[in-house]
Structure formats: C-alpha cells, structure tokens
A and B are shown apart, each in its own frame.
Chain A
Amino acid sequence: MIAEIGQFALILALVIAIIQGTLPLAGAALNRAQWVAVAKPAARGQFLFVIIAFLCLMHAYVTSDFSVANVAHNSHTLKPLLYKISGVWGNHEGSMVLWVTILALFGLAVAEFGTGLPPTLRARVLSIQGLIGVAFLAFILFTSNPFLRLDPAPLEGNGLNPILQDPGLAFHPPFLYLGYVGFSMAFSFAVAALIEGRVDPAWARWVRPWTLAAWCALTIGIALGSWWAYYELGWGGWWFWDPVENASFIPWLIGTALLHSAVVVEKRDALKSWTILLAILAFSMSLLGTFLVRSGVLTSVHAFASDPERGVFILGLLVFVIGGSLTLYAIRAPQLKGGGLFAPISREGALVLNNLLLTTGAAVVLLGTLYPLILDAFGGGKVSVGPPFFNATFVPLMVPVMLAAIVGAMLSWKRADIGAVFSRLKIAFYITLIAISVTAWFAGSLRDVLAAGGIGIAAWMIVGSALEIAERIALFKGPISNSWRRAIGLPRSAWGMAIAHGAVGIMVAGITASSAWRVEKIQLMAPGDVITVSGYSLKFEGAKPIKGPNYHGERGLFTVTKNGKAVTTLTPEKREYPAERSQTTEAGILTMVSGDLYAVLGDKSKNPAKGGASWSTRIYFNPLVAWIWVGAILMACGGLVSLTDRRHRIGAPKTARKPAKKAADPQPGPVSA
C-alpha cells in the first residue's frame, strides 16, 4: 500500500513538473501574470509529492518490505538501521529518487526565498527546474521504478553490498547530489537569463550563493568518497583517477571556475557570457557524470551492474540539455554586452587566468576519461587511461593556478601594480624557497625534487593566504585591538577566500607527501613477528574470530611501539557477509598529524614451520595523508564562511520578513568591496 502511494506521488510530481515546466515559461513570454504565478505553488507541490515518494521508499527500507523488488534486491533484515536508511540511495533507483528530491528541494528554495527576484526571472528559473524535474521523473518512472512489486515476496533480501555499509559512504551520495543538483540552480538561472537576454550584477549576486552552496556540498561529497576509498578498499590509496571519480571531479573543476567568474560579473559587470557558459557547462558535466556512472559505458573500479536502456535515456537527456542550452547560448550570448574594461594585470585578469586553466584542466580530465570510449569506437583497441596520464597532464596545469591564486587575490580590480604585490609577498616567497630547499635537502632523487616543488606550492598557498589576511587587518602594525576590530569588520567573503586558498595549500602538502614518501610493506607474519615501518614497530599478536550483527570474520591485533614506548594497537579486520556472500577488508588505521599508520590483514595460510598459521599483512605509512581531507573540509568551510557574507544576505529579503532575524541582523551597510 505504502509503495503504491509512493508510486502515485511520483506520477503526480511528474504531472506537476510538466505544468511547472511549461505554464510559467509561456506566461513570462506572453505576459500573463496568472500563468507566471503558477510557478510558486507548482514548485511547492512538486516538492511535496517527491518527498512523499522518498519517504515511502524509506519506509519500505526501514520496515524491510521485501514485496518491493528494490528493497528485496538491496536490503536485509539484519542490516543496522543506518544502512537500511542509506540503502535507499545505495542503489540506482533509490539514488535517482534522492536526485529528484534534492532537485525539488532547490526548486522550493527558489520559490520560497526568491521573493526578491524579478517575477518573470523567478518564473523562468522555476520552469527550467520543472523541465529538469520532468526529465528525471520520467526517467525514474519509465526505466528505474523503485516501487515495483515482487510476487511472491521473498522472506529475506539480498542485502546491500557490504563495502557500502559504511558511515562515510552513507553520506557520500547525498552530498555529491547536493552538489550536482545544486549546479542545476546555476544552470536554470543561466538559461532564464539567456531567455530574458539580460545579465547584470544582481543576477550574479543571486547565482553565486547557490553555486557556492553546491560547490561546498560537492567538495564534501568528493572528500567523503575519497576518504571512504582510502580506509575501506584497503589499498591505502585515496584517488585513482577512475572514471567514476573523474565524473564528480570535472563538475567540481568547472564549478570552481564558475565561482570565480561569477565574482567578476558581480563586482565588475564583465565576463557575463563566459559565466553563463560555465553555468551551463557545470550542470552539463554533472549530467554527464550521472550518465557515466549509471550507464556503465566505462570500466571503473567503482562500477556497478547497470542497464543499457537507462544509458540511452540519460544520453538522450544529455544531448537535449547540452545541445539545447548551448544552442540558446549561441543565439543569445552575443547580445550580452560586457561592462567594465580591465587591463591584463588586474584582479579580473587573474580570474580569467584561473578560469582558463581550470576549464582546460577539466577538459583534460574529461578527455582522459572518455579517451578509451573514443578509441574503442574508432576500432583503436581497448585501452585504459590511468594515473600516469593525469599526473602528466592535469598536474602541470594546476601548478600555475595555485601560484597565481595568491598573487591574484592581492591585485586590485581594473588595473594593478604587480611589482607592489610581489614586494608585499616577499615573506611568502622566502618561506616557499626555504620549504623547497629543506625538503630537497632531506631527499635526493628526481621524484623528491618534484615533491619539494609540491611542498613549496603548499607553503606558498598557506603563507600567502595568511599574509593577505594579516595585511588587511594590519596585524603587527598597531595595537592588537585595532587588528581585532578590523578582523571582525573584514568581509566574510575575504575570510572565505583566504581560508579556502590556505586549505588548498594544506591539501597539496598532503597529496605531495603521501604520494612521494609513502612506505609500503607486504609480508607473511606469524603471531609474534615484528615489522618496522617508518620508525614504528608493529608486533603481530595473532588474529581471532569475531562476530558482528550481519557478518563474521577475523580480527588481527598489532601492538605498535616507537622507540620502545607503546603507541597504540591496530585491529584490522577481514569480514565475511553471508547474506551478500562477500568479503570486506577493514584496515586498522592510526591517524597522526605526521601521517597514517595503516595495517591490512590478508589471507591466512598454513605455516608448519612457525607452528600453525600465518597471515599475509600489508603495512603502510602514508605521510601527511590526513591533511588531504582536512584541507578539503577547510575548503568547504571557506565556502560556507563566504556564503554568510553580508552582501549575499542583502539579496535575500526573506530574512527581512522574519522579525526575529531582522533584529539580530545588522543594518545592510554599503556593499563591501
């Protein structure tokens, strides 16, 4: 019964989405206020019915209703509640329902908070959102219905792939989709602006917070996924340049470029048509990512069983959305006259460089991801493109982006004196040189020289960002109370930028150190054996059988000492999930600032010489690896801080309607430069 309600709600949502996607659009074109007014209630209705469908599916999972095929295929009564809930989006059908739920949520947000927008623009934005909703609801209903019944219902479900039964991965898809779908907002605003034929700073002020929010979510989503791969797959790696990973990384790169170019539209009324193009591309790449992951056209370590019919549907959608929006762009973009002029050496110029390199980087990643498909289509044989390709092409493109980020942040708008900026950055430059020399001193080979460069870039980003803030608050140049006052008065967006740029530096340090100086040891160990890795002695005490709620397995015990002092114990596990008939590896990890000690328990084998059994074990020391995720989270925090900037609140009069909030809010001052 509940499943039927869910199905029915999805159909109603589709009907409402069709209305939302057509009437307001036509009304805005024909000047019919009543049609335009349909947009808001339609967005509310769509959200209502989609959330009902989502909750119905969740109900089926939580109560283990195996008469629903989707639940029977992907759940199990013995599964912990968290994974029953996350199981909703741990499969294709459910993840698509989550997709439209988030889409409808964003639509609702525009309808509710967008009261300050010109009515026709809002109606058009909601209409475009409605059309995207039509496409995805139809996709769900016609190719991937999550509410299909199974008759007779099995007594027990097949279970969720145990490797996905993990807290990190439970929240990875929602964040990823918040990011992907969040870019649909920028897309809808871009298409609506093209239809209106007008882009102004107010438009950018509207688009930027949505993009920023989507970008933060995507950053967290990718970081969660990479962190999960690191501790769950047991390979000690955290990024494999795998097609599925790239599928989320390409929209992130374009989204990052979009964030930066939207600033130029907002502040200087320039780069309009370029920003529109980026908004279209960011969402197009999100759709492409969904297609690549869901169609199974690419070989991936993360690939899941998939259905070609769905691939064809998403491909058709992709062609329609990308083709349609780019055609509209080609027709309308020439009308968007740029505003402010600027010299090549200026803040705008630096942001243009950032955009060029980030989009080129995204193009390179896209090419590497699609190359096997292209070559195969032309009969060139089966190939795979892996880390060596991306390291040789993508990394060199990102180096100038990071070097320029710090300089660009100090340049003034319109026309800047680069010599003055360089002299202000003297300290950062010296510290960078010291960092490079010290790193190179302790190392020798070519790989280490490159790594020293990476550490240098990290130092440059961190020190440069700190210096920028220190200068703006006049630190050490007067009484500390003065600096404090300035720090509070500094626009949140300035803080956000410095935090995010510094976070990139932290991340680069982690990436460089963990890839250049990682230590890996694989060996057979009998109880009592000791192995030394990077100064830590790990004594293998043996392995004991364990039993969990829905698995059983073995847990190894390592006691870790350094210089004779006890540090910790590591307990890697090897689990067997009988319901799903599969095994997983749970690494034992000790996370420290200096790096991670990472132990994996492998197969047991007979070892008569050592009186019984021995286990294959794999021990890693991954220097600074945790910095990668700390950096990523800080980057997202930078975005969130920037999101709270006063000028974004001015654009949202919703806060003014809430009396309680109004009192807490300071009077909107002059827009801070």
Chain B
Amino acid sequence: MTRKRRRLNFIILGLLTLGVAAALVLTALEDKIVFFYSPTDIVTKKQIPTNQQVRVGGLVKEGTWKKPTNDLTHRFTVTDLRHNIPISYKGIIPDIFREGQGVVVLGKLQADGNFQADEVLAKHDEKYMPPEVAEALKKSGKWKQTEDAK
C-alpha cells in the first residue's frame, strides 16, 4: 500500500465520520434544542408552541410564591417587570429558589396562558443572575430598577 493510497483511505474514513456526525447534529438541532422566552415575548408574541418544551426566565415576583398544601404543586409568577407569567411546578423546589430572584424554568406553555414547569433551574450562587434573565430585564427596560432596588 502506498503512502498516497493510505492517505486516501484516511480521508475517506474521516469524511465518512464527519458526514455521519453532521447528519446526527443537523437532525438533533431540528428538534432537540430548547428556545428561551421572556414573559413579554410570551404575552406579546402569539406563536409560542404549546406542544414543545421552552424555557421562560425572569424574576420571581414578590408575594406570589404559594407553597403546596396537600399536593406538591408550587405556584409563583415570573415577571420581567412588564409582563407576568403564572407558573406551576409539581415537585421539590431547589434550595436557592427565592422571591425577588432570577429564575429560569423549563416546561410547556398551556393553552390558557399558564406555564407548566417540568424543571426549575436554580443556580449555585445567589449572586448569580441568569444572562437570559438579565437580557429580558434589559429589554423590558427595567434592568436599572432591579439594580437600584437591591
């Protein structure tokens, strides 16, 4: 086997691997990624899919967190200080979850405008603000207020 022939073999094998990987990645990018929306997006844009998982982020509105009484459903409102989205989540809420803090939830928007969360993502660090939430607050023009409020 000549050096050239060997190199050709490698190139073919390499292209084949890359081709398979590209096919896998492209199909996965079609339906396996999750979009993020701010409460304003959800209220103002009407075409948010209800059959697909999406993420919603903002601040947990003060005074809205209702802890479960006899089932395990937590209810709270996520706000970007312009619009609000009511969230319900069945399960155990993460340790760092608190009113007035940034939060991102993963779940599905219901037809009635409620949001059913499958996961509540809280961070290790209480000083941390999810970038999406910061962005959503900046977009709604309320970023300064939350900073001042602190």
Q: Most chain-A CB neighbours within 10 Å: which of B1, B29, B127?
A: B29
Encoded as 1 (CB less than 8 Å from any A CB) or 0, chain B from 19 to 30 comes to 011001101110
Is A658 in contact with chain B by the CB < 8 A criterion? no
Q: Could you say which residues of chain B place their CB within 8 Å of the CB of A343? A: 1
Does B33 contact A383, Cβ atoms closer than 8 Å? yes
Contacts of A304 in B (CB 8 A): 124-125, 128
Query: Residue A389 at the B interface, CB < 8 A?
Result: yes
Of residues 1 to 47 in B, which have CB atoms within 8 Å of A's CB atoms?
1, 3, 6, 9-10, 13-14, 17-18, 20-21, 24-25, 27-29, 32-37
Chain A neighbourhood of B124, CB < 8 A: 161, 163-164, 301-304
Q: Is A30 an interface residue (CB 8 A)?
A: no
Q: Within the assembled complex, what's the spacing in Å between the Cα atoms of A618 and B93?
A: 11
Residues of B within 8 A of A234 (CB): 92, 95
Question: Across the interface, which residues of A come within 8 angstroms of B75, CB to CB?
Answer: none
Q: Nearest-CB distance from B71 to chain A (Å)?
A: 7
**A1 sits at the interface (CB 8 A):** no
Q: Distance (Å) between the CB of B52 and the closest chain A CB?
A: 12
Q: Is B135 close to A, CB under 8 A?
A: yes
Interface segment, one of A179-187, A489-497, A581-589: A581-589
Tell me the minimal C-beta distance from A490 to chain B in angstroms.
Answer: 31
Q: Which of A42-50, A108-116, A360-368, A556-564 touches B?
A: A360-368
Contact string against B for A residues 338-375, beta-carbon threshold 8 Å, 1 for contact and 0 otherwise = 10011110000000110011001001100110010000
Q: CB-CB < 8 A to A338: which residues of B?
A: 3
Contacting A364 at CB < 8 Å: which of B21, B67, B125, B128?
A: B21
CB distance from A270 to the nearest CB of B (A): 9
A90 to B71, CA, bound (A): 38
Name the one of A352, A393, A581 contacting B28, with C-beta atoms under 8 angstroms. Answer: A393
Smallest CB gap from B74: residue in A: A603
Interface flag for B99 (CB, 8 Å): no
Question: Which single member of A352, A393, A602 contacts B10 (CB below 8 Å)?
Answer: A352
Minimum C-beta distance from A302 to chain B (A): 6
A392 interface contact, C-beta 8 A: yes
Q: A303-B123, A356-B17, A522-B91 are contacts. A392–B28 as well, Cβ < 8 Å?
A: yes
User: Closest CB-CB distance, B137 to chain A, in whole Å?
Assistant: 13
Contact with B along A379-404 (1 / 0, CB 8 A): 00111111011001100110000000
Q: Which residues of B contact A364 (CB under 8 A)?
A: 21, 24-25
B17 touches A524 (CB 8 A): no
Report which of A297, A341, A616 forms a contact with B3, defined as CB distance below 8 A.
A341
Within 8 Å by CB of B70, from A297, A342, A356, A524, lies A524
B13 near A606: Cβ-Cβ < 8 Å: no
Do B93 and A341 have beta carbons less than 8 Å apart? no
Chain B residues with CB under 8 Å of A382's CB are 35-37, 55, 132, 135
Which of B17, B21, B92 touches A600 (beta carbons < 8 Å)?
Answer: B92
Q: Report whether B3 and A383 are in contact in the complex, using a CB–CB cutoff of 8 Å.
A: no
Cβ of B131 within 8 Å of any chain A Cβ, yes or no, is: yes
The answer to whether B18 and A360 touch across the interface, beta carbons within 8 angstroms, is yes
Chain A 530-546 per-residue mask, 1 if CB under 8 angstroms from chain B, else 0 = 00000000000000000
Q: Is A523 an interface residue (CB 8 A)?
A: yes
Bitwise interface map of B from 115 to 132 toward A, beta carbon under 8 Å scored 1, else 0: 000000101111110111
Tell me, in angstroms, the Cα distance from A402 to B24 when the chains sit together: 18
Establish whether residues B25 and A367, one from each chain, have CB atoms under 8 Å apart when the complex forms. Answer: yes
Q: Point out the residues of chain A lying under 8 angstroms from B9, CB to CB.
A: 344
In the complex, A367→B37 CA distance in Å? 22
- Cβ-based interface call for A672 (8 A): no
Q: Which residues of B contact A (CB under 8 A)?
A: 1, 3, 6, 9-10, 13-14, 17-18, 20-21, 24-25, 27-29, 32-37, 55, 67-72, 90-93, 95-96, 104, 121, 123-128, 130-132, 135
Residues of A within 8 A of B (CB): 161, 163-164, 234, 296-297, 299, 301-305, 338, 341-344, 352-353, 356-357, 360, 363-364, 367-368, 371, 381-386, 388-389, 392-393, 396-397, 522-524, 574, 581-585, 600, 602-603, 605-607, 609, 616, 618
9 A-B contact pairs sorted by A residue (CB < 8 Å): A163-B95, A299-B132, A303-B123, A304-B128, A305-B127, A360-B21, A389-B28, A396-B24, A607-B70
